[in-house]
Amino acid sequence: MSVKLKKRHEVPDEHKWDLDSVYDTVEAWEKDYARVEAMIPQLTAYQGRLGESAGTLLRALQARDEISKLLEQVVVYARMKEDEDTTNSTYQALSGRSMSLYSRVAAAGAFLTPEILAIPSETIRAWMDQEPGLAAYRHELEDTLREKEHVRSPEVEELLAQVGEVGAASQDIFGKLNHADLKFPSIKDEQGNEVELTHGRYLRFMESPVREVRKQAFEALYTTYNKFRNTLAATYANSVKKDVFYARARRYPSARAAALSATNVPESVYDNLIATVHKNLPSLHRYMQLRRRMLGLDELHMYDVYTPMVPDVDKKVPYEEAVDTILKALAPLGEEYCEVARRGMTEDRWVDIYENEGKRSGAYSFGAYTTKPFILMNYQDNLDSMFTLAHELGHSMHSYFSRKHQPYHYAGYTIFVAEVASTFNEALLTDYLLKSTDDPKLKMYLINHQLESFRTTLYRQTMFAEFEHITHQRVEGGQALTADVLDEIYYDLNKRYYGTEGMVVDDLIAIEWARIPHFYSAFYVYQYATGISAAASLSHQVLTEGQPAVERYLTFLKSGSSDYSTNLLKEAGVDMTSPEPVQQALDVFARLLDEMEQLAG
């Protein structure tokens, strides 16, 4: 019997996030929307004047922060109200207007960085020494000055800005082809029904316990991409050429150097990641062999790598039990962390808990400097939902501590560290659950959950990162990226990563590069792999060292973006410029694999 979803107005307040704490009426939102509009001229009044004095520069930065802080609140409320019920036209309109306002404010403040860079560096540094208020922006200003040698003359900058839309064409074309024009055939599901294959259904089919369903889905998807391989190769090749063009225009030694320079991450971090994962590929090969044995297969194909090795454990976990379990798992972090987390998940109503009619699917952590760090869930009373809640809580606690301890301009944090706190929470939850049960089925389920997390986030994203590095090097060396070349690079990487003993690396996997959207945002995915590595290292330190490691970790959460990400992690006890954290994470993978092999017999 199906249970009908509640309409939004039928959901009890205690199950909803407290957006009334942001604006209790649309009229209150409208007032702040108008206030932001009125503040735009106050910001643009500083255009052409930043070089006047330390005081002028300080007031311009403060004006930027004041308008940005309020704008953030306006945008967050509108977006989250729309996500509560995506069919509500009132909030659709508010969301659209808020994003339009965001674009207007961004355009109004576009003069800031070029004008700051036009001021002699020694002048800005002297001003920071003279003006205490400006000294509070020291890291931000030094970071801006760091990129000075890569900013070109006003004429060249104007030209680069004008070709920006052309540069975005590859990603736009890929998006239109991938989401609008590509149509996949129908396949037969587990009941023998004809079902059209879609992007959304593909992973569900790949997790199917029926092998023929997985095989059909795999072949249908990649045969379709193969029909457009030359168009997709030309699209991706032009995206790589665009990256190389911009890097050269801004006088970077390579496209990768340009991408990593944005957050001041040394290229050695990227190289260490790939080299350390290569060294530990035998563990992944062992895992593939264990998967083959546990699935009872003579040989493992690429369409067998996502189906669960361990059947779902039918363990009901109501939301209240999940909150209690997560808090016990996070107890090593101390009383303050756990009390804030407890209140956030209960009476302070950070969390929009259950699914309702029209509500956005999935889960996320979101908020503004002036709001609670809200969490959207579609909680399903199972183990998977409990892990998702722990993950999103990690993001929200990071945001809570950063906003509490940092001024607005340092309260955010980079993508490089964004997944650390969330994955850290999952690691502590897994450790707690494994220590709290003697049920071999539950243990195997939990270990498999962690092993898959490492496989898909550390190993797979590193393979993606290596593919990007190779393709960009090819173009920088004057070579062409044809469909055949891209297929060969990608197929060889899959053979290297997954192994060939008892493993069939199907020919069709060679075209998988053609469906990865992240490849159009080059040198981004490696951060997922470094993030899980840092989290594994930090969680291990907290569980083994105790209080000193806890203090370092909490300091990291409170630091926002007040220093470069690699420096903040180093202070916390993880040096991402060395191979050690990645190796520590892969050691955890190997230990979990040992335990899984023993349990499987």
Using a 10 angstrom Cβ sphere, with 0-12 exposed, 13-18 middle and 19 or more buried, the burial of residue 492 is middle
The DSSP result for 264-294, as a single string, is T--HHHHHHHHHHHHHTHHHHHHHHHHHHHH
CA trace torsion 303, 309, 313, 314 (10° rounding): 40
- The catalytic residue among 392, 419, 466, 476 is 392
Q: Is 545 designated active site?
A: no
Three-class secondary structure of residue 208 per DSSP: coil
**Rounded distance, CA 475 to CA 18, Å?**
51
Three-class secondary structure of residue 365 per DSSP: strand
Contacts (Cβ under 8 Å, ≥6 apart) of 126: none
**Pairing mode, strands 374-376 and 364-366:** antiparallel
For residue 191, what are the CA distances in angstroms to 187, 195, 212? 11, 10, 12
If one counts every other C-beta atom within 10 angstroms of the C-beta of residue 222, the result is: 20
Enumerate long-range contacts of 46-50, CB under 8 Å, 24 or more apart: 47/111, 47/115, 48/111, 48/115, 50/112, 50/115, 50/116, 50/118, 50/119
Q: Which residue has the tokens 């802080």?
A: 69
φ, ψ of residue 388 in degrees (nearest 5): -65, -40
Q: Annotated active-site positions, please?
A: 392
